[in-house]
Structure 1
Amino acid sequence: TMGGQTGLNCALSLAKHGVLKKYGVELIGASRDAIDKAEDREKFKAAMTKIGLGSARSGLAHNMEQALKVQAEVGFPTIIRPSFTLGGSGGGIAYNKEEFLTICERGLEASPTHELLIEESLIGWKEFEMEVVRDRKDNCIIVCSIENLDPMGVHTGDSITVAPAQTLTDKEYQIMRDASIAVLREIGVDTGGSNVQFAINPADGRMIVIEMNPRVSRSSALASKATGFPIAKVAAKLAVGYTLDELKNDITGGATPASFEPTIDYVVTKVPRFAFEKFPQADSRLTTQMKSVGEVMAIGRSFQESLQKALRGLEIGVDGLDPINGDREQIENELSDPGAMRLWYVADAFRIGMSLAEIHQLSHIDPWFLAQIEELIAIEKEVSSRNLAALSAAEMRVLKRKGFSDRRLARLLNTDPAKLRETRHGLGVKPVYKRVDTCAAEFATHTAYLYSTYEEECEAQPSDRKKVMVLGGGPNRIGQGIEFDYCCVHAAFALREDGYETIMVNCNPETVSTDYDTSDRLYFEPLTLEDVLEIVAIEKPFGVIVQYGGQTPLKLARDLEANGVPIIGTTPDMIDCAEDRERFQQLLHTLQLKQPPNRTARTPEDALRLAQEIGYPVVVRPSYVLGGRAMEIVHEQRDLERYMREAVKVSNDSPVLLDRYLNNAIEVDVDAISDGQEVLIGGIMEHIEQAGVHSGDSACSLPPYSLSDAVQDELRRQTVAMAKGLKVVGLMNVQFAIQDGIVYVLEVNP
């Protein structure tokens, strides 16, 4: 029940083949029957009918003929879900017969049991989730209710979600609560956490159960972070026989047992992050198949505050509800057929004067959420007619309470963020930090799990120990994910062993670094200059580490240093030296190391001319990016022209780098660690793919399988030379290419 769908499917097939029986192994947490009952669509439907809960009209099919028969009963639009798959893969929504046939073919292949569930469409219904925990004595608690801002039809992993649920009446909430406990009892989940999903028809209030996962899911991770109640940890203890009243709540220092339902006096919003810019061919419309690659979570005292904090935490170049475009036709399309940016189009719809009713009709987003966004847009309009000097402290505080970032306000007031911050501090408007304590401040808490808000009382109570702050990696994306989090967590552990107090700043609910017990103090905040500076101001750390969170903290390093924040490890100036092409070239020149012929272009015309100089094929990329975003191998002038049109937008007028592509070269990664004097080589990895396949997509072998000792020694020598040249303190990764026995340096990541 802990390893997601993979673990469940694996356990079921072990049970089916008699392996568990043969070795006398028992499945704890959820029995085979319970898993089967929850996962097998037909059994689940029968179970729901038995306890008097509605479910969607549907039928099962194992081939095309059956599929068409069921479809005739439920009508279009039809939802198709293959059994035993994760993230809705293989499924989809069909509006006509053609689409229906294509999706069914794909679905039958995707399902390990070649089984499809075909059901009536609930598109436009409101979607809710309940996180329930049950022990072997039948004690049940609801950890958290979650409401999806996006209505049914968008996979819950791709929806903006809010906890606790905002638009349920108390009576509806109680009905849903009782229903979710009844579901657990009927399915027979003996112990542990489960997640039950409901849909409500806003027109007549009809409630149905969509599905139930007898395991921890993405939502459980979110609910754990949202409430401070560690679902997986508790579920593991319940599986071996503890009961809820025997387990103590860590956060209240044991003052309350785990059988107390968490109470929350704040609002949590989760916003997904997509990577469509990497896959321009992919279909960017959101459906029942999950497409997001990461998510960001934010905590605030109101929905508006937590939403705006989450938006700036996404790191997609927005500071809040930035305008995208004002073309009515496009806005209407985006509202009715959602893509990754739907929320911003909702804001734009209000800007061009569409009414709340029109927007609701197109998007089916609950009017309560729309009213909240409408109010934010009205405030923005009002602010943009003011000037900074005329704002009073009270007005500034109201704006900050609504979650507006300094950068967004600066843009509205036509000034720069630094000036705005200075004025705000001058007015004495600073955030306070509140604790997540699972009990709405009823009991004292010893755990420092904090979020910022603009109120009166600050609960941060910083200590006067020597402390180090680690900046995390923000939301997962392609090329920056859990591997960076692993480094952050180990950095926190190591510093704690050395007697420092550790402070973690991150906003990604999927990570270990955002567990309240990984570091001494956790700030669940967006990784933006404004938010980090406010935390530094209150905590006054001895040093801040920016090396482990990937590109996210590196982008902040220079500005943090300029604002007097002590950065420990490799200096921001040296990080810049490695990232800035022209400075790096000078360094290699001084050290007499080779790189492939390269040039730096600042305009499209430059690029075409310089490419001629170094000769095609050319590798092009913007500077300061991670995971090869917008990086391409270009073989002729026509491709380069297209690239310059599309990519210069990516790099916000910072230059584009051109490298000669080395045909048939071997690419090698060398990882090293240095204390500023001595350099230790961690390993030399040889890529199995040829140079030009991104190192994240290439298979590697450690140790290298085809490099002579002489070449390996040369790689070591060059790595050490660069580490000393860059005065690296900490980690460093170098990518080399070897062509005809000559070693070229491709890049260095400090």
Structure 2
Amino acid sequence: MTADEDRTILLIGSGPIKIGQAAEFDYSGAQACRALQEEGARVVLVNSNPATIMTDPEMADKVYLEPINTEAISEIIRKEEPDGVIAGLGGQTGLNVTAELAEEGVLDEYDVDVMGTPLDTIYATEDRDLFKQRMEDIGEPVPRSTTITLDDGESVTDLDEDSLIDRVESAVDEVGGLPVIARTTYTLGGSGSGVVDEMDELIERVRKGLRLSRNNEVLITESISGWVELEYEVMRDADDSCIIICNMENIDPMGIHTGESTVVTPSQVIPDEGHQEMRDSALKVIRDLGIQGGCNIQFAWHDDGTPGGEYRVVEVNPRVSRSSALASKATGYPIARVTAKVALGKRLHEIDNEITGETTAAFEPAIDYVVTKVPRWPIDKFRDTEFELSTAMKSTGEAMSIGRTFPESLLKALRSSEYNPAADFNEIDDAELETEYLEKPTPDRPYAMFEAFCRGYTVEEVVDITDIKEWYVERFKEVADAAEAARDGDYETAAQAGFTDQEITALAGGEFNDTHVSWLPADLDEDGGDEPEVEAATDGSGVTVDTVETETTDRDFKLVDTCAGEFEATTPYYYSTRDPLSGIDRDELQIDPDLESVVVVGGGPIRIGQGVEFDYCSVHAVRALENLGIDAHVVNNNPETVSTDYDTSDGLFFEPVTAEEVADVIEATDADGVMVQFGGQTSVDIGHPLEQELERRDLDCEIMGTSVDAMDLAEDRDRFNKLMDELGISQAEGGSATSKEEALDLAHDIGYPVLVRPSYVLGGRAMDVVYNDEDLETYIEEAVRVSPDKPILVDEFLADAVELDVDAVADEDDVLIGGVMEHVETAGIHSGDSACMIPPRSQEIKDVMPRIREVVEDIADALDTVGLLNVQLAVRDGEVFVLEANPRSSRTVPFISKTAGVPIAKIAAKVMSGATLSELDVQEQIPEQVSVKEVVLPFDRLPGSDPRLGPEMKSTGEVMGTAGSFGKAYQKAQMAVGKAIPLEGTAIVDLPILGFEEHFDVQDFDDYEDTDAIIDAIQSGKVDLVLSRNRDVLEACVEETVTYFSTHESAEAALEAINSADQPLAVQAIDERPKTQREWGAE
């Protein structure tokens, strides 16, 4: 094929957000769709994730929200007859399923070419033995390694224990002894991998790895822990033109997955000779493998006394990746866009650089700033899980920052991550600080390094304990010294180091009035809470942010231009700096302040409770503003997202989401308004401090849509309860408590069990059901840590109620309901963890639908809602109870929009900009088919976590299944999750449910001697399905990848799916799914 032929291209997405594979593939896929269509290709997209921008109907010619497996994709290929498939843009998921389609003969049968990187290359990089041989053939050094492989026809359960031990011991001897790294092939984010020091642990890792691997192989590699880990992003076309896009250096040494490490570009500690050697190696590797498009090559390097040091080629990812997204945002070079065009046959010199408009994709980017990426971990959701960092990923997302110096970039990244250390360093002595927080790699280590310098540790001591390179440790000390300088009245040094004026005010003893900090000394955070509770630490009481502002350099906005200023950039992609050497006299803002403009505040890094769905809402808001002729400027810091693509908005500001820094963008752009509704809790939280900051600066900019006070009213339980009483809307009995005594009194009045949670948190954080006083007292201690100085909410637990979510748009006069979703699980399971369906099917819900509409309209009116509104309801015995209302975007907005065909985020943005619903003339629609949204849970990546669902959200992502019946839709949703429901075999049933005996050999707990015997049966491969709430049994299911259901409702849904298995797996593009124009709840 040549680039100018008309053709149909199948683009395979990456599926749901999960640990190891987050929103970077939504960004890559959206960019690729646009690139392919620019070249005249007809694009057919398949993905199972409704929360993404790439699954919007306008993103491709045909969009299929279907499971990413060979069965569904084979049907799509048969129906759409694509000429080619691009595998390298859908992450590991896309690579794996493309390989399976080839192996099953589907691609040959329908004459579908694999475009771009050939399958042989994929096999050569994923098969560790093949990769090792290819590297040795071209003279590239690799770590010593060997493979443990199952024989043909052999399974893990068949493997004799002595035989497994012999194979493992032989492999260890071959690579030089323990410690070793165990790596599993064809898996994601280091799943099943790790540095192992003990033989017993290695045997278990190998057993698990053989089960997880698609080709029954586990690689045993010599450990090179302690070496510097680097990544090189490389691009090649069919003419063998190659460029290095950038290199990225991990602060943490080898032994920690790059997705878990703090990453810096350009590299800071590698000598130029070493960089040139690895650069040459990277070009040699991509050429030998025949990769066409982008790829990521990982190296390990250490100083052996020679000018260039010594390196090893660790692995190659022949596709776009998490690091590709980071490199794209760090340099402005659109790796996914170029990869897609190269797959069509374009050469690098034929692809324009959209940022400069003068150069091409054949020019290597040059940068004159420092980029830092920090991960975001779900520690707050899994308090019983060990978060020591290793070769297996546990983080859910990441934040990126840009600064002129590393300290400035580091502090901006830490602030952007919205993470606060779990440790209270005021309670930790030096010995514990060293062993648990400096020597042991955890998410708290950067903060422990700062703390060590506050205690007088030297750079040499910290280097010796952490094994982090001296250059980086020196920079950490600079930050700690700058904080001390601020306490002594030197504010400018702290500002240049990267502290905000609000942080400097706090350091000087004044009041902190913002949402997130980068780092402050422990003695300024006496309460150990999530937000700084700053007390005067010096004689500087009375210092205000106004005082600090007069003594610090203002932020200057600089362009990301891919060429370090060599050519004039035309794309408005900015970062801020306070470095006085940055050329402040040269204003690089290319924004016309006379044009009407709005700042859209994004959601920051992905975390449990706040995922890619909020980026979906932010992007839709931007597109709506552009439709109205209003300039839209985005403030966000997540390199994985579509909102931070350089061509999504009229101005991209890669900045922390704090009131101070958002206000700087507003002031610089002279924005007329700012939207905080679309970025989840992150953007909502800055509402009050931003309002105060705008007033302090006397900026003529309004917070658009529903007022900040109305959003606060919805969060403030006492005010909200009073409002519901005035409206005559039923609520679960409850209230808020500001002390342990008040909480106990409330619980006694209501009667146990009660549902308890902190206020002003997202994703049900620290929410729980408690059954007695002792549990409640224990809970209160945790809630105070999570949300200090905020009330604890105590509510009646509505047992046996059916829960609902409603998403709507209001304009103060009218309400448009986007959709009503019924939860599969009943009360007690967080709405974000429950499967849900649209439209509702329970007769109990249908009977009260008019009342549901009335409740939503009354709440919208009472809150003076302008924009989005999510209302969570429960129905019991024909009565509708309101659980909570949130006048902002919600995680269900994308699902609603794609099932009902009504883009409510866009509509909301237009309403917030002054349009009315009647003027927009949008009709409500009810889908005629059943769509089920199912969640993806991370328990397999977090050993020791409790797999039972409860009132606190734990899921990382979602999928969607649609069919003519609920059973089939639920089955498709489970397929999309990756846990297909078995149709026969042995089932252990510990829930009160009948019907499985028609399909399975059903056993219960009484058929086994004890729980250990059940676990042994699971580990021996003798169990196909488990229905239970027993934690130990469920943990064994997670470990052994046995399908399980832990609630009565999900088990019933699974039985319905099994009974629907004979129905055909019909695939439909989302624009082909029938809908009826009718109001929800209409009489």
The TM-score bracket by the shorter chain reads over 0.9
Give the SS at the match of 2:214: coil
How many equivalent pairs are there?
739
1:207 alignment counterpart = 311
Q: 2:350 is matched by which residue type in structure 1?
A: E
1:401 alignment counterpart = 496
How far apart in 2 are the matches of 1:330 and 1:723? 52
Q: 1:726 is matched by which residue type in structure 2?
A: L
How far apart in 2 are the matches of 1:443 and 1:427? 34
1:35 alignment counterpart = 122
Q: Following TM superposition, by how much is the alpha carbon of 1:317 offset from its aligned partner in structure 2, in angstroms?
A: 4.2
Residues 848 and 878, structure 2, Cα contact 8 Å, conserved in 1: yes
Within the alignment, does 1:718 sit opposite 2:813 as a pair? Answer: no
Of 200, 217, 220, the residue aligned with 2:324 is: 220
**Which piece of structure 1 moves more, 107-116 or 445-454?**
107-116
How far apart in 2 are the matches of 1:323 and 1:252? 48
Within the alignment, does 1:459 sit opposite 2:588 as a pair? Answer: yes
Query: Identity over aligned residues, as a percent?
Result: 47
How far apart in 2 are the matches of 1:59 and 1:372? 39
Q: 1:699 is matched by which residue type in structure 2?
A: A
Residues 126 and 200, structure 1, Cα contact 8 Å, conserved in 2: yes
Q: 2:640 is matched by which residue type in structure 1?
A: E
How far apart in 1 are the matches of 2:600 and 2:261? 29
Give the SS at the match of 1:547: coil
1:55 alignment counterpart = 142
Q: Following TM superposition, by how much is the alpha carbon of 1:318 offset from its aligned partner in structure 2, in angstroms?
A: 7.4
How far apart in 1 are the matches of 2:461 and 2:174? 32
2:348 alignment counterpart = 244
Q: Residues 322 and 143 (structure 1 numbering): CA distance in 2 closer, same or farther, change over 3 Å?
A: farther
Of 589, 593, 600, the residue aligned with 2:736 is: 600
Q: Following TM superposition, by how much is the alpha carbon of 1:446 offset from its aligned partner in structure 2, in angstroms?
A: 1.2
Residues 251 and 264, structure 2, Cα contact 8 Å, conserved in 1: yes
Give the SS at the match of 1:429: coil
1:676 alignment counterpart = 812
Give the SS at the match of 1:281: coil
Residues 82 and 116, structure 1, Cα contact 8 Å, conserved in 2: yes
1:424 alignment counterpart = 548
How far apart in 2 are the matches of 1:266 and 1:420? 31
Q: Following TM superposition, by how much is the alpha carbon of 1:461 offset from its aligned partner in structure 2, in angstroms?
A: 3.8
How far apart in 2 are the matches of 1:523 and 1:717? 41
1:557 alignment counterpart = 687
2:510 alignment counterpart = 415
Q: 1:46 is matched by which residue type in structure 2?
A: Q
Q: Following TM superposition, by how much is the alpha carbon of 1:68 offset from its aligned partner in structure 2, in angstroms?
A: 2.0
Residues 715 and 743, structure 1, Cα contact 8 Å, conserved in 2: yes
Residues 489 and 518, structure 1, Cα contact 8 Å, conserved in 2: yes
Q: Following TM superposition, by how much is the alpha carbon of 1:86 offset from its aligned partner in structure 2, in angstroms?
A: 0.6
Of 549, 552, 562, the residue aligned with 1:438 is: 562
**Which piece of structure 1 moves more, 348-357 or 140-149?**
348-357
Of 652, 667, 670, the residue aligned with 1:537 is: 667
How far apart in 2 are the matches of 1:90 and 1:342? 24
Within 5 Å, give how 1:105-124 maps onto structure 2.
105-124=207-226
1:164 alignment counterpart = 266
Residues 404 and 577, structure 2, Cα contact 8 Å, conserved in 1: yes
Of 858, 863, 870, the residue aligned with 1:733 is: 870
1:307 alignment counterpart = 410
Of 106, 109, 132, the residue aligned with 2:234 is: 132
1:491 alignment counterpart = 621
Give the SS at the match of 1:131: strand
Of 708, 718, 735, the residue aligned with 1:572 is: 708
How far apart in 2 are the matches of 1:516 and 1:597? 49
Within the alignment, does 1:504 sit opposite 2:638 as a pair? Answer: no
2:159 alignment counterpart = none
1:12 alignment counterpart = 99
Within 5 Å, give how 1:700-711 maps onto structure 2.
700-708=836-844, 709-711=846-848
Q: Following TM superposition, by how much is the alpha carbon of 1:72 offset from its aligned partner in structure 2, in angstroms?
A: 2.2
How far apart in 1 are the matches of 2:839 and 2:574? 44
**Which piece of structure 1 moves more, 361-370 or 619-628?**
361-370
**Which piece of structure 1 moves more, 88-97 or 501-510?**
88-97
Deviations 1:371-419 (CA, angstroms, capped at 9, x unpaired): 11112212222332x24xxx5xxxx443212111223322221112465
Q: TM-score, structure 1 length as denominator?
A: 0.96
Of 168, 176, 188, the residue aligned with 1:67 is: 168
Within the alignment, does 1:378 sit opposite 2:455 as a pair? Answer: no
2:961 alignment counterpart = none
Q: Following TM superposition, by how much is the alpha carbon of 1:742 offset from its aligned partner in structure 2, in angstroms?
A: 1.1
How far apart in 2 are the matches of 1:214 and 1:92? 22
Residues 324 and 348, structure 1, Cα contact 8 Å, conserved in 2: no
Give the SS at the match of 1:694: coil
Q: Residues 501 and 322 (structure 1 numbering): CA distance in 2 closer, same or farther, change over 3 Å?
A: farther
How far apart in 2 are the matches of 1:146 and 1:271? 13
Residues 514 and 522, structure 1, Cα contact 8 Å, conserved in 2: yes
Q: Following TM superposition, by how much is the alpha carbon of 1:425 offset from its aligned partner in structure 2, in angstroms?
A: 3.2
Q: 1:19 is matched by which residue type in structure 2?
A: V
Greater relative CO, 1 or 2 (CA 8 Å, sep 6+): 2
Deviations 1:261-317 (CA, angstroms, capped at 9, x unpaired): 000000000000111121112121111000111110000001110001111111124
Q: Following TM superposition, by how much is the alpha carbon of 1:710 offset from its aligned partner in structure 2, in angstroms?
A: 3.2
Residues 323 and 347, structure 1, Cα contact 8 Å, conserved in 2: no
How far apart in 1 are the matches of 2:323 and 2:691? 37
Give the SS at the match of 1:690: coil
Q: TM-score, structure 2 length as denominator?
A: 0.67
Q: Following TM superposition, by how much is the alpha carbon of 1:326 offset from its aligned partner in structure 2, in angstroms?
A: 5.0
Residues 323 and 344, structure 1, Cα contact 8 Å, conserved in 2: no
Q: Following TM superposition, by how much is the alpha carbon of 1:567 offset from its aligned partner in structure 2, in angstroms?
A: 0.5
2:364 alignment counterpart = 261
Give the SS at the match of 1:652: coil
Q: Following TM superposition, by how much is the alpha carbon of 1:108 offset from its aligned partner in structure 2, in angstroms?
A: 1.5
Residues 62 and 116, structure 1, Cα contact 8 Å, conserved in 2: yes
How far apart in 2 are the matches of 1:50 and 1:358? 43
How far apart in 2 are the matches of 1:432 and 1:399? 16
Q: Following TM superposition, by how much is the alpha carbon of 1:428 offset from its aligned partner in structure 2, in angstroms?
A: 6.6
Residues 126 and 202, structure 1, Cα contact 8 Å, conserved in 2: no
Q: Following TM superposition, by how much is the alpha carbon of 1:336 offset from its aligned partner in structure 2, in angstroms?
A: 2.1
Deviations 1:534-571 (CA, angstroms, capped at 9, x unpaired): 11111121111111000011111112222334111111
2:883 alignment counterpart = 746
How far apart in 1 are the matches of 2:222 and 2:501? 46
Give the SS at the match of 2:677: coil
Deviations 1:635-681 (CA, angstroms, capped at 9, x unpaired): 12221111012221111121100011011110011111111100011
**Which piece of structure 1 moves more, 715-724 or 451-460?**
451-460
1:287 alignment counterpart = 390
Deviations 1:507-528 (CA, angstroms, capped at 9, x unpaired): 1111100001000001000001
Q: Following TM superposition, by how much is the alpha carbon of 1:424 offset from its aligned partner in structure 2, in angstroms?
A: 3.5
Give the SS at the match of 1:696: coil
How far apart in 2 are the matches of 1:102 and 1:317? 34
Residues 311 and 318, structure 1, Cα contact 8 Å, conserved in 2: no
How far apart in 2 are the matches of 1:271 and 1:149? 10
Q: 1:445 is matched by which residue type in structure 2?
A: A
5+ residue gaps, structure 2, are 1-87, 151-163, 514-542, 696-700, 888-1083
How far apart in 1 are the matches of 2:424 and 2:772? 37
How far apart in 2 are the matches of 1:231 and 1:511? 14
Give the SS at the match of 1:162: strand
Give the SS at the match of 2:247: strand
